[in-house]
């Protein structure tokens, strides 16, 4: 897990650049205003965060002084320790994740001390905004979906939005115990409502996508959830549903089999214990 590298910066617009950090193939973005420089997501460890800061300094001669983390998964925010001296933002529920034991264990596995896990200073509940100089940055949390701390970063002037893992391009959508599948399609609808139809959407992993792609992924999640609901109400237990997913394959299930398994486990847990859909 320790082989870190970062690709060169590729331009998305004149002031937005994208690089890919390994080993998690996670998108890292930098946005240049006239006064401030924003980093979106920080890599998987404090060392990676520092390497990203260096890379921006060397390539562009400018210093990152604003950081937003799109959600509380380690490949997006464990690099934050390298930015302790600048203004940092994330959704408020990241704090909860930061204080559970799981991340401390993960930090140790990745080879650094859990004390280096840094919580952003500015915790956003539903929305926030700040200015980079000629560039307004809007932060929106539309409720639980991929995780409970997903934060969309929208640049209205550039017509670019960073959506973290709410959308995926390089592989199937990622479902985990902290995902909420029932509300996820509605969250994508809110993103589509927020942005213009020409907006470039930057997923957490993979190439930039457009609104049509987002709506297609929205439908996949929605169809999947309805399918699982139907199985469950027809009396299928989790194990039977998993066997069904395996025998149906991708003809019926929108995701590949390993993603479908994860998503089915997640959906069954969610349906057994419905969560509030309006929490912020």
Tell the smallest beta-carbon distance from residue 6 to Zn ion (Å): 19
- Closer CB to Zn ion, residue 33 or residue 182? 182
Tell the smallest beta-carbon distance from residue 176 to Zn ion (Å): 8
**Cβ contacts of 137 within 8 Å, gap of 6 or more:** 31, 38, 66, 68, 129, 130, 131, 153, 154, 155
User: Which residue is it, tokens 């004390």?
Assistant: 115
Q: Which two tokens stand for residue 144?
A: 């639980």
Q: Under rule CB under 5 A, which residues in 220-249 are in contact with Zn ion?
A: none
- Closer CB to Zn ion, residue 57 or residue 256? 256
User: Which one of residues 103, 135, 165, 178 is an interface residue with Zn ion (CB under 5 A)?
Assistant: 165
- Closer CB to Zn ion, residue 124 or residue 241? 124
- Closer CB to Zn ion, residue 73 or residue 227? 73
Sort strands 200-203 and 160-164 into parallel, antiparallel or unpaired.
parallel
Tell the smallest beta-carbon distance from residue 26 to Zn ion (Å): 9
The interface mask with Zn ion, positions 49-88, x = CB under 5 A, is: ------------------------x---------------
**Quick check: 58 and 19 in contact, CB under 8 A?**
no
Q: Which two tokens stand for residue 121?
A: 């200073």
The interface mask with Zn ion, positions 125-164, x = CB under 5 A, is: ----------------------------------------
- Closer CB to Zn ion, residue 146 or residue 218? 146
Size of the site for Zn ion (CB under 5 A): 2
CA distance 86 to 52: 14
Tell the smallest beta-carbon distance from residue 262 to Zn ion (Å): 12
Tell the smallest beta-carbon distance from residue 25 to Zn ion (Å): 12
Tell the smallest beta-carbon distance from residue 44 to Zn ion (Å): 12
Tell the smallest beta-carbon distance from residue 174 to Zn ion (Å): 5
Q: Which residues bind Zn ion (CB under 5 A)?
A: 73, 165
């Amino acid at each position: 897990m320790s082989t870190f590298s970062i690709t060169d910066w590729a331009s998305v617009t004149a002031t937005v650049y994208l690089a890919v950090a390994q080993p998690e193939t996670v998108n890292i973005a930098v946005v240049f205003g006239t006064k401030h420089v924003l980093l979106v997501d920080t890599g998987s460890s404090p060392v990676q965060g520092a390497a990203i800061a260096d890379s921006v300094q060397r390539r562009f001669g400018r210093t990152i002084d604003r950081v937003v983390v799109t959600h509380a998964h380690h490949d997006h925010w464990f690099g934050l320790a390298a930015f302790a001296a600048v203004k940092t933002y994330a959704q408020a529920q990241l704090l909860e994740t930061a204080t559970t034991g799981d991340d401390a264990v993960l930090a140790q596995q990745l080879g650094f001390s859990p004390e280096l896990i840094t919580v952003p200073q500015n915790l956003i509940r539903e929305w926030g905004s700040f200015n980079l100089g000629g560039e307004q940055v809007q932060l929106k949390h539309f409720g639980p979906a991929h995780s409970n701390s997903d934060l969309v970063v929208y640049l209205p002037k550039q017509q670019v939005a960073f959506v973290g893992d709410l959308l995926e391009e390089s592989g199937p959508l990622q479902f985990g115990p902290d995902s909420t599948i029932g509300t996820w399609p509605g969250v994508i609808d809110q993103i589509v409502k927020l942005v213009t139809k020409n907006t470039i959407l930057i997923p957490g992993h993979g190439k930039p996508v457009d609104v049509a792609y987002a709506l297609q992924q929205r439908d996949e999640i929605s169809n999947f959830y309805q399918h699982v609901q139907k199985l469950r109400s027809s009396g299928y237990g989790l194990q039977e549903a998993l066997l069904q997913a395996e025998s149906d394959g991708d003809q019926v299930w929108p995701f590949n089999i390993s993603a479908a398994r994860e998503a089915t486990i997640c959906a069954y847990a969610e349906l057994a214990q419905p969560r509030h859909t309006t929490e912020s």
